[in-house]
A and B are shown apart, each in its own frame.
Chain A
Amino acid sequence: MPDDPQGREEAPGWPEYFARQAQACRTPALRRFYAAGLPAADTPVADAPLLALDFETTGLDPHRHAIVSIGMVPFDLRSIRPAAGHYWVIKPQRPLREESIAFHRITHSEVEQAPPFEAVLDEILASLAGHLVVVHCRNIERPFLDAAVMAAHGEHCLFPLIDTMALEARHERIDRWRRLKRFLGVQPVSIRLADSRDRYGLPAYSSHHAKVDAMATAELFQAQIARHYSPDTPVSELWL
């Protein structure tokens, strides 16, 4: 079993990793999270219970910056269910800098009233359990959650995820013609969430908010599968 489950070639080992962690973890909430398991690697994506996840953070470094809010929206290839989703504002362990307040438009008083991460961790893990996570840009949610769980309990919280930005890169950036264009100085297309959505005819949302972004990510993933993949695609071809 891999020490670094983020390595792509080890991806088929995810179910085994979960089984092992379910035994090894001391924290009950983490044990339950891992014990809920994962869809088998060959599960068609159409049958997988999915969960779009989005964090707002105070910066990009999981070791220096903190989570400010978390949005979750469960879905599958048939429907997205915002009403069954969740949203938490979290009081960061480190004080909020002015610029990140301006960026997220979450106020001091909102953050002051918010619970600390440890207080909502069990709820977060319970909501994640049993789902295959979908994010836009894998460098935020998983590393931040892992670092926060590590700080709270000294244990890892790792899981496979599908990255709609990486999928977009596969289809918009990787082919040779685009490489050539890039070589010739033509700007590559943007694979940011809003720009990616635009290519699938998805509407622009006005707010910058973790749950809206989670909903937007779920819609983008449905669109990517509809355009580029079959619903029978095994999840192991998509998860990282």
Chain B
Amino acid sequence: MEAEVREIRDHFAQYPPFDNLSDELLDRVAGSVEISYFKAGTTILERDAPNHTLYYIRSGAVEVYLHNGQLYNQLGEGDIFGQFGLLRNHRVRFPVKAIEDTLLYLIPESVFEQLCDEDENFADFVELTGSRLKSTVEQRLRDNDMIATRVRRLITRMPVMIEESASVQDAARLMTEHDVSSVLVLAPGNDEDSDRVFTDTENRQWRLAGMVTDKDLRVRVLAEGAPAQTPLSAITHGRLITIQSDESVNEAMLVMLRNNIQRLPILHRRRPVGVVHLSDIVRYETNNSAYLVSNIFNRSSVNALARLTPEIRAAFVRLVDEGATSQMIGIAMSSVGRSLMRRLIELAEAELGEPPIPYCFMVHGSLARNDQSITTDQDNAMVLHDSFDPDQHDAYFRELAQRVSDGLDACGYPYCKGGIMATNEQWRQPLSQWKRYFETWIARPDPQRLLHSSIFFDLDAVYGEERFVEELQDLVATRAQASPLFLAALARNALSRTPPLGLFRTFVLEQDGKHNNSINIKRRGVAPMNDVIRVHALGVGSRSQNCFERLDDIEQAGALPSGQTDKLRYALEFLSSVRLRHQAYEIKHEHPPDNSIDPEQVSDVDRHNLKEAFQILSNAQKFLRFRYPSPGR
């Protein structure tokens, strides 16, 4: 491949939908581009002009306008435009103007059509919405599948390489320095074996001659009594088995099993790009949360449970690193949270004795929604049997609540600052009282009061008489949808936290043009999205608590314009995944995980997706205002 094609290709390879193309298609795109420069302020595409090109932004930024001249979108490095016209009448649908000095790669129509024909992901990306967010999210879903996942995703570092003329001692030193258990051995390339020769980034030619592992140093050097200066060429041997970077993880595993090897060099064409170890694949495969849950039920004291905190965090990081979706992670972490809580209740009951009357431990917020992450307050309450007599029974339940709450705090789920805990007498009440609470909130909605109680509208049973909570869920589902005043008040609250316009390299751009240094992704993204979805869900009488399940109910009820629930689903998935990845990053760097995101830590690609997700959230909030209007406003 010529050097200039490699330059172009390497850029495409970073951005969706190109990042997922096969190597062959990627080369074809890179080899076909023409290049064009536009000064800031110049028009790139005029409306209705003929167009036979897909445009890709190599550097700079452009604005896309609607027919009425209104700004539709801002695009930057790695974005594409022109696809709408290409797919329809070959005329420019949305005019485009450069807002910065901009360098464009022009992809000819013939190649565009090949891409659409030969790569389903590419076709979806440009056809359905042109939405990068959708493609990114779907990609993550697909990536969970070992068969679909390309082995290059398992590469965590550049391969460590050494020349075969170096000594075994040099190799051992290099391996120690890089903390690796294998090193690839290179010989200078020459024409005889040109099919195995590759060119490195410095334009030097090499042949991959073999691999030396810790075991080779033991077996072929130490055990043989070979001197430290033995050249590597004397101990490398046989044919080296390798795999192409666009083969599947599954195929890589089969190759290792078939050949009885532990390590497999990964090549892009003939150039080594990494080494994958069998344990990388096993780790990729195993989901450890099930093991963690069984471990929780084996613990017999609060202290023993609290010692599981590092393991819970490690399981969380692993899930994020393995590319699990936020929905899967939410479910896994919630099942951990619920198990922990159940175990704490069991331990408390064992000491306090049987409960005097039936009761149910109820949770709210993220645990009820099954979307718990790693940093989360406890939100819980107790629903007691209607035979409850405070003088006779409350001492027991107060003590039970206290133990569970203290235990949760010890296990890394801090006390709820808003006091939504069963230790609070107000939230430790018989079923009939709980029904009155909900009836009052729904019948006489006061936005101020609702602001503090909307968290109760995500509710689920964790332990005990689950039917108590089911009765409450039924009550909410039937009453709420019949109360426009309540829905309007809830909708108004759902507009109180708005997303920013987007992230730029070093700052957060707010709707009013102000700049901020960081953004709380929970408060400005995930939580308002939950709020929006909750209003619609209650509006259609859904009994689901999980946001994704609520979206299914909303879709079935036809409550939103077509395609809208899909957009909300992608946006929620992406906003959540940014939050989870941030928290995993913090844990890995031994910082307490939080929700505060610094734009400089966000990749270009994620920045684009975030902008789109914020836009979807903002539009959904606007629609909410119109769908559930406040009376007299």
Question: Are the C-beta atoms of A201 and B59 separated by less than 8 Å?
Answer: yes
Question: Are the C-beta atoms of B35 and A227 separated by less than 8 Å?
Answer: no
Question: Are the C-beta atoms of B204 and A223 separated by less than 8 Å?
Answer: no
Decide if A218 is an interface residue (CB 8 Å cutoff).
yes
Question: Are the C-beta atoms of A215 and B102 separated by less than 8 Å?
Answer: no
A-B contact count (CB 8 A): 89
Q: Mark A75-88, 1 if CB is under 8 A from B, else 0.
A: 10011111101010
Give complex CA distance A73, B33 in Å: 12
Residue in B3, B100, B204 whose CB lies within 8 Å of A209: B3
A226 (CB) vs chain B CBs: closest residue: B39
In the bound complex, residues from chain A placing their C-beta under 8 Å from that of B569 are: none
In the bound complex, residues from chain A placing their C-beta under 8 Å from that of B173 are: none
Decide if A109 is an interface residue (CB 8 Å cutoff).
yes
Give complex CA distance A206, B6 in Å: 10
Decide if B494 is an interface residue (CB 8 Å cutoff).
no
Question: Are the C-beta atoms of A202 and B103 separated by less than 8 Å?
Answer: yes
Q: Mark A219-240, 1 if CB is under 8 A from B, else 0.
A: 1001100110000000000000
In the bound complex, residues from chain B placing their C-beta under 8 Å from that of A219 are: 35, 37, 103
Decide if B34 is an interface residue (CB 8 Å cutoff).
yes
In the bound complex, residues from chain B placing their C-beta under 8 Å from that of A202 are: 37, 59, 101, 103
Decide if A175 is an interface residue (CB 8 Å cutoff).
no
Question: Are the C-beta atoms of B60 and A79 separated by less than 8 Å?
Answer: no
Contacts A207-B7, A212-B3 given: A200-B101 contact, CB under 8 Å?
Answer: yes
Give complex CA distance A215, B8 in Å: 11
Question: Are the C-beta atoms of A79 and B106 separated by less than 8 Å?
Answer: yes
Question: Are the C-beta atoms of B7 and A206 separated by less than 8 Å?
Answer: yes
Give complex CA distance A106, B189 in Å: 13
Question: Are the C-beta atoms of A82 and B35 separated by less than 8 Å?
Answer: yes
Question: Are the C-beta atoms of A201 and B204 separated by less than 8 Å?
Answer: no
Question: Are the C-beta atoms of B39 and A105 separated by less than 8 Å?
Answer: no
Question: Are the C-beta atoms of B190 and A109 separated by less than 8 Å?
Answer: yes
Number of chain B interface residues as a range: 20 to 34
In the bound complex, residues from chain B placing their C-beta under 8 Å from that of A78 are: 36
Decide if B278 is an interface residue (CB 8 Å cutoff).
no
Give complex CA distance A205, B8 in Å: 9
Question: Are the C-beta atoms of B6 and A203 separated by less than 8 Å?
Answer: no
Decide if A187 is an interface residue (CB 8 Å cutoff).
no
In the bound complex, residues from chain A placing their C-beta under 8 Å from that of B102 are: 201
In the bound complex, residues from chain A placing their C-beta under 8 Å from that of B33 are: 82-83
Decide if B58 is an interface residue (CB 8 Å cutoff).
yes
Give complex CA distance A226, B60 in Å: 15
Decide if B32 is an interface residue (CB 8 Å cutoff).
yes
Interface residues of A in 82-106 (CB under 8 A from B): 82-83, 85, 87, 104-106
In the bound complex, residues from chain A placing their C-beta under 8 Å from that of B31 are: 83
Residue in B5, B60, B188, B203 whose CB lies within 8 Å of A201: B60
Decide if B202 is an interface residue (CB 8 Å cutoff).
yes
Question: Are the C-beta atoms of A109 and B203 separated by less than 8 Å?
Answer: no
Question: Are the C-beta atoms of B189 and A109 separated by less than 8 Å?
Answer: yes
Give complex CA distance A206, B200 in Å: 13
Decide if A142 is an interface residue (CB 8 Å cutoff).
no
Question: Are the C-beta atoms of A79 and B36 separated by less than 8 Å?
Answer: yes
Q: Mark B19-39, 1 if CB is under 8 A from A, else 0.
A: 000000000000111111111
Question: Are the C-beta atoms of B205 and A80 separated by less than 8 Å?
Answer: no
Interface residues of B in 84-107 (CB under 8 A from A): 100-103, 106
Give complex CA distance A78, B35 in Å: 8
Decide if A131 is an interface residue (CB 8 Å cutoff).
no
Question: Are the C-beta atoms of A207 and B3 separated by less than 8 Å?
Answer: yes
In the bound complex, residues from chain B placing their C-beta under 8 Å from that of A113 are: 191
Decide if A190 is an interface residue (CB 8 Å cutoff).
no
Contacts A201-B59, A201-B100, A201-B101 given: A107-B205 contact, CB under 8 Å?
Answer: yes
B11 (CB) vs chain A CBs: closest residue: A203
Decide if A4 is an interface residue (CB 8 Å cutoff).
no
Question: Are the C-beta atoms of B4 and A105 separated by less than 8 Å?
Answer: no
In the bound complex, residues from chain A placing their C-beta under 8 Å from that of B34 are: 79-83
Question: Are the C-beta atoms of B202 and A82 separated by less than 8 Å?
Answer: no
Decide if B603 is an interface residue (CB 8 Å cutoff).
no
B3 (CB) vs chain A CBs: closest residue: A209
The minimal Cβ–Cβ distance linking B330 to chain A, given in whole angstroms, is 39
B100 (CB) vs chain A CBs: closest residue: A201
Question: Are the C-beta atoms of A105 and B35 separated by less than 8 Å?
Answer: no
Give complex CA distance A207, B204 in Å: 12
Decide if B42 is an interface residue (CB 8 Å cutoff).
yes
Interface residues of B in 173-220 (CB under 8 A from A): 188-191, 201-205
The minimal Cβ–Cβ distance linking B146 to chain A, given in whole angstroms, is 33
Question: Are the C-beta atoms of B32 and A83 separated by less than 8 Å?
Answer: yes
Question: Are the C-beta atoms of B37 and A215 separated by less than 8 Å?
Answer: no
Question: Are the C-beta atoms of B191 and A80 separated by less than 8 Å?
Answer: no
Question: Are the C-beta atoms of A226 and B37 separated by less than 8 Å?
Answer: yes
B31 (CB) vs chain A CBs: closest residue: A83
In the bound complex, residues from chain A placing their C-beta under 8 Å from that of B42 are: 226
Question: Are the C-beta atoms of B201 and A206 separated by less than 8 Å?
Answer: yes
Decide if A211 is an interface residue (CB 8 Å cutoff).
yes
In the bound complex, residues from chain B placing their C-beta under 8 Å from that of A109 are: 188-191, 205
Question: Are the C-beta atoms of A222 and B37 separated by less than 8 Å?
Answer: yes
Decide if B391 is an interface residue (CB 8 Å cutoff).
no
Decide if B2 is an interface residue (CB 8 Å cutoff).
yes
The minimal Cβ–Cβ distance linking B28 to chain A, given in whole angstroms, is 11
Question: Are the C-beta atoms of A209 and B4 separated by less than 8 Å?
Answer: yes
In the bound complex, residues from chain A placing their C-beta under 8 Å from that of B190 are: 109
Q: Mark A176-198, 1 if CB is under 8 A from B, else 0.
A: 00000000000000000000000
10 residue pairs A–B, Cβ–Cβ below 8 Å: A79-B36, A82-B5, A202-B37, A206-B201, A207-B3, A207-B201, A211-B3, A215-B4, A226-B37, A226-B42
7 additional A-B residue pairs with CB within 8 Å, beyond A83-B33, A203-B103, A226-B39: A78-B36, A82-B5, A85-B4, A201-B101, A215-B35, A226-B101, A227-B39
Residues in B lying within 8 Å of A, measured CB to CB = 2-8, 31-39, 42, 58-60, 100-103, 106, 188-191, 201-205
